[in-house]
Amino acid sequence: MIKLIKRVSVISIIMAVVFMVIQVVSDLYLPTLTSNIINNGVATGDIDYIWKTGFYMIGFSLISIIAALGNTYFATRESQKLGQKLRSDIYQKVENFSSRSFDKFGTASLITRTTNDVNQIQMVTQMFLRMMINAPITLIGASFLAYQKDAQLTRIFLVVIPIMLVLVGGIMYFAVPLFKSMQKKTDRLNLVFREGLTGVRVIRAFDKTDYEANRFDEANKDYTHTAIKVNTIVALMMPLMTLIMSGTNIAITWFGGHYIAEMTLEVGNLIAFMTYAMQILISFMMLSMIFVMVPRAQASADRINEVLNEEDEILDPKTPATLSLQGDQATLTFDHVAYRYQGAEKLALEDIDFQAKSGDFVAIIGGTGSGKTTLVNLLPRLYDVESGAIKINGINIAEITQHNLREVVGFVPQKAVLFSGTIRENMKYGKPDATDEEIWQALEIAQAKDFVSELADGLDSRVEQGGGNFSGGQRQRLAIARALVKQADVYVFDDSFSALDFKTDANLRAALKRDMQDSIMVVVAQRVSTVMDADTILVLDEGQLVGKGTHESLMADNETYQEIVSSQLREEDLA
Ligand SMILES: Nc1ncnc2c1ncn2[C@@H]1O[C@H](COP(=O)(O)OP(=O)(O)OP(=O)(O)O)[C@@H](O)[C@H]1O
Ligand SMILES: [Mg+2]
């Protein structure tokens, strides 16, 4: 946790501490003034003394209030800032996560860690700056002053403090493990809730609403049970503390009364002693709260550190080479590339070897699960190759920065994702200074010009979260256009034409061939009609490159390709 809290500014901590010390000293001094006013003023009828001491008391009260305000200000400001810093650190870290790290944590848990866990740290930091300093100073100061006021009465604490220690220890023993398990249950709750929200259509279509509601109910109940237990334990603390305080007061009054009768104690000292006793007990309570909060926050801190310490798998080289756009001179080489998913025994890709140059249309075809997506994901380095090398314009992509690489590669993932905003904003994603003319040109190639220009607001039309207000095929075309707006040497389309009808698919390919002659197109497809007129067709089967050539050559001698073609022709015959 200390590692996380290091983000707080030292000056602010010092300010908070200074204000706190001023407040504690004033608070400690006030009961002494009270006893003075009673012993020296009231008892002797010295009005002047009463006035003078009264003014002092008002003065110290004011100082105490101002100091408390100052302390709260710095404590609150710093803890909020710490939360902000932690959230942005986590966000930046996660944005650079490899796909494997994402799988490891899961989206729901990452969200809990950024919100709930950061809140815990924030809260404990604020408490720390408010109480952690206050409680020990008050405890020591008040004990010392109480002892000075009357040594005999301090013996009461010999009984009270052990009782308090047992109580606080007991609460910690039961509450801390529960607090830790609550964090896990929050994760679970978020996971189920998230799945329910994103899958709401599927859930309805499968008539699984009740099932999902039950699943959520279970997670919800589980969480609530633990929360109730924890809160019951913590709530018990308050009345027990009040009981102890009242008991202490009675004891002080009882013994104090006797001492006064025996003339061994002054009234003012008794009153001051009582106040100090309360201060001591309240500090104890504060300390016990801190002891409950700290382990809980420690659990949160561990969870945050897990994210922040996750090792970057895809690293930039220390002395990167520079890859510049080559236009019509671009080349792409896969040099005996192999890839294996983390923990998998089998290679997901084996000995993939091919070349392409500007203007080439490289198609990748193969059954589902044959490794097509895996292959193209290696190009923008979403994963790193296990052996072999990928070279663009003669330079190994592992030897340049990821930023540089992504300037040269335009990528349309299998699942088209748009961001909320306007169409124009989405189109400018890869090239912030793109002009409307460039955008329209890209939309035209992507066969999206017609439907975008029919929208009432044109380029200013709203895109909702995930592009939900567009059809699957429209979303695909917008995602293609977004990649085209950016000038790239290599464009990758992962099954990006799958939701298009045959005619649009054909028009799109024709436009790409005509207008993007300077670039290399790598197109993953399921349909033979999409790949038929490609310059090179790569046939994948279970991660192996089993065929490489044109449609005609593969038709002549490649069994896998022939099978794919005949299976699709049969389907079309049937249709
Ligand atoms: N994140 C992952 N972790 C482990 N294995 C994976 C992962 N993603 C894919 N695989 C495995 O790698 C193989 C190839 O998957 P890939 O997604 O590349 O297939 P694909 O050819 O794109 O299929 P589709 O046509 O259905 O999109 C599959 O057997 C799959 O189970
Ligand atoms: Mg795929």
DSSP conformation letters of 106-147: -HHHHHHIIIIIHHHHHHHHHHIIIIITHHHHHHHHHHHHHH
Give residue 522's Cα distance to chain centre.
Answer: 34
pLDDT of residue 65: 95
How does pLDDT run across 287-300, given as a tens digit for each residue?
877 877 887 788 88
Give 183's contacts (C-beta < 8 A, 6+ positions apart): 112, 116, 117, 299, 300, 303
Distance 415 CA to ligand 2 centre (A): 9
User: Does residue 341 line the site of ligand 1, with CB under 6 A?
Assistant: yes
Index of the ligand 1 atom closest to the CA of residue 341:
4
What value does the CA radius of gyration of the chain take, rounded to a whole number of Å? 36
Please, are residues 191 and 223 in contact by the beta-carbon 8 Å criterion? no
Percent of the chain scoring above 90 in pLDDT? 35
Considering every ligand atom shown, identify the ligand nearest to the alpha carbon of residue 372 and give its number.
1
Highest mean pLDDT out of 7-16, 168-177, 325-334, 370-379: 370-379
Question: Which residues neighbour ligand 2 (ion) by CB within 5 Å?
Answer: 373, 414
Cβ–Cβ contacts within 10 Å for residue 534, how many? 23
Distance 383 CA to ligand 1 centre (A): 13
Mean pLDDT of the chain: 88
Q: Is the pLDDT of residue 567 over 90?
A: no
Show the domains of the chain with their CATH numbers. 2-307 (1.20.1560.10), 327-574 (3.40.50.300)
How does pLDDT run across 73-103, given as a tens digit for each residue?
999 999 999 999 999 999 999 888 877 788 7
**Mean pLDDT value across residues 15-35:** 91
User: Does residue 368 line the site of ligand 1, with CB under 6 A?
Assistant: yes
Pick the closest to residue 284 from 426, 129, 157 (CA basis).
157
Q: How many CA atoms lie within 13 Å of 464's alpha carbon, on the beta-carbon side?
A: 4
User: Does residue 371 line the site of ligand 1, with CB under 6 A?
Assistant: yes
Q: Which helix (H) or strand (E) holds 490?
A: strand 490-494
Tokens of 265: 């104690």
Distance 492 CA to ligand 2 centre (A): 12
**Mean pLDDT value across residues 56-68:** 94
User: Does residue 369 line the site of ligand 1, with CB under 6 A?
Assistant: yes
Separation CA 139–CA 526 (nearest Å): 75
Distance 349 CA to ligand 2 centre (A): 13
For atom 16 of ligand 1, the residue with the nearest CA is: 371
Considering every ligand atom shown, identify the ligand nearest to the alpha carbon of residue 543 and give its number.
1
Tokens of 488: 């790239």
Pick the closest to residue 29 from 150, 189, 142 (CA basis).
142
How does pLDDT run across 438-490, given as a tens digit for each residue?
999 999 999 999 899 998 888 899 998 888 889 888 999 999 999 999 888 99
Partnered with residue 334 across adjacent β-strands are 354, 390
Distance 479 CA to ligand 1 centre (A): 21
| Residue 312 three-state SS | coil
Please, are residues 357 and 535 in contact by the beta-carbon 8 Å criterion? no
User: Does residue 373 line the site of ligand 1, with CB under 6 A?
Assistant: yes
Give residue 408's Cα distance to chain centre.
Answer: 30
Distance 108 CA to ligand 2 centre (A): 24
Cα torsion through 36, 40, 43, 48, rounded to 10: -110
How does pLDDT run across 499-556, given as a tens digit for each residue?
888 888 889 888 988 888 889 999 998 888 888 889 999 999 999 999 899 999 999 9
573 pLDDT tier (thresholds 50, 70, 90): low
Q: Which of 105, 341, 342 should be mutated for ligand 1, with most atoms under 8 A from CB?
A: 341
For atom 18 of ligand 1, the residue with the nearest CA is: 371
**How many residues are present in the chain?**
575
| Residue 367 three-state SS | coil
Index of the ligand 1 atom closest to the CA of residue 366:
21
Q: Which of 370, 385, 530, 560 should be mutated for ligand 1, with most atoms under 8 A from CB?
A: 370
Index of the ligand 1 atom closest to the CA of residue 370:
21
Separation CA 258–CA 264 (nearest Å): 9
Distance 374 CA to ligand 1 centre (A): 6
Q: Which of 373, 476, 530 should be mutated for ligand 1, with most atoms under 8 A from CB?
A: 373
Report DSSP state, residue 310: P
Distance 93 CA to ligand 1 centre (A): 25
For atom 25 of ligand 1, the residue with the nearest CA is: 368
9 pLDDT tier (thresholds 50, 70, 90): confident
pLDDT of residue 572: 58
Index of the ligand 1 atom closest to the CA of residue 371:
18
435 pLDDT tier (thresholds 50, 70, 90): very high
Report DSSP state, residue 428: T
How does pLDDT run across 251-271, given as a tens digit for each residue?
999 999 999 899 888 888 888
Distance 575 CA to ligand 2 centre (A): 25
Distance 47 CA to ligand 1 centre (A): 90
